[in-house]
Amino acid sequence: FSPGLLVVAGSFAAFRLLNRGLERLVPPPPSARRNRWKWRNIWTSLAHSALPDTHNLSLCRFYLHPELSNDLVGTHPPGAHSLVAVSVGYFLEDFVDMLCNQKLHQSWELLFHHSVVIVCFGIAVLLHQYVGFALVALLVEINSIFLHLRQILLMANLVHTTCYRLNSVINLGTYVVFRIATLAWMTRWLFLNRQNVPPATYAVGTVGMAIMTPMNIILFYRLLRSDFFK
């Protein structure tokens, strides 16, 4: 039994409680009251993305422990394992929340995305390996802050505001740097280190990258078309 599973369970429970109480903390505007669960869901996702442990510490760990860049398999600093376990708990909570509150044809892409993340991060939590690789993946959450803010502004009917336009520019910039470039770097690392990764794990990683990369390119096109070319 892995102690990391306790962290996963605790994280799941914490994000579930947060989700239940968010409507009181951040009451939905009139334009979002028809879809209250979505309002809570986005704010819960924003809370995960904005957690210092999610992205700031990911960057700090690579700065303070440069050896991570050379060994993403067996090397990980103290606390990094728990950080990945917390994220697994969040993705599980978000998966359950969407499964219970949204129709499958509306959420299948995100459910598929979360399934891939849960499997890949779950391997790192259970085996205490590839934690560094998971930390690189968590850099994507820097962009997720602005992606979730965009959804909140849309639901609050604030599309025609300076705040929305500014967020759109930052969202697109961080998308390229922290999402597309990060996934490209991870794919390159996996290919160059295929001899050092067991076949089963390499297969999971390859399939994960093959799924995530096209999904993120499609989402980038949708954002570009919606916010700049519409």
128 pLDDT more than 70: yes
Could you tell me which residues come within 8 angstroms of residue 126 by beta carbon, excluding any fewer than 6 positions away? Answer: 2, 4, 5
What is the chain's mean pLDDT, rounded?
Answer: 87
Q: What is the pLDDT of residue 220?
A: 93
Taking residues 79-94, report their average pLDDT. Answer: 91
- Closest Cα to residue 41, out of 116, 104, 99? 99
Q: Which of 35-44, 75-84, 205-214 has the highest mean pLDDT?
A: 35-44
Q: What is the mean pLDDT of residues 41-57?
A: 78
Q: Between residues 42 and 129, which one has the greater pLDDT?
A: 42
| Average pLDDT score over residue span 3-24 | 92
DSSP notation for 33-70: GGGHHHHHHHHHHHHHHH-TTTTHHHHHHHHH-GGGGT
Looking at per-residue pLDDT, the higher value among 59 and 201 belongs to 201
| Per-residue pLDDT at 146 | 95
Residue 65: which residues within 8 A CB-CB, separation 6 or more?
75, 77
Amino acid 198: pLDDT: 86
pLDDT band at 64 (very low <50, low <70, confident <90, very high): low
pLDDT tens for 148-204 read 999 999 999 999 999 999 999 999 999 999 999 989 988 888 888 888 888 888 888
Query: Residues of the chain with pLDDT > 70: what percent?
Result: 89
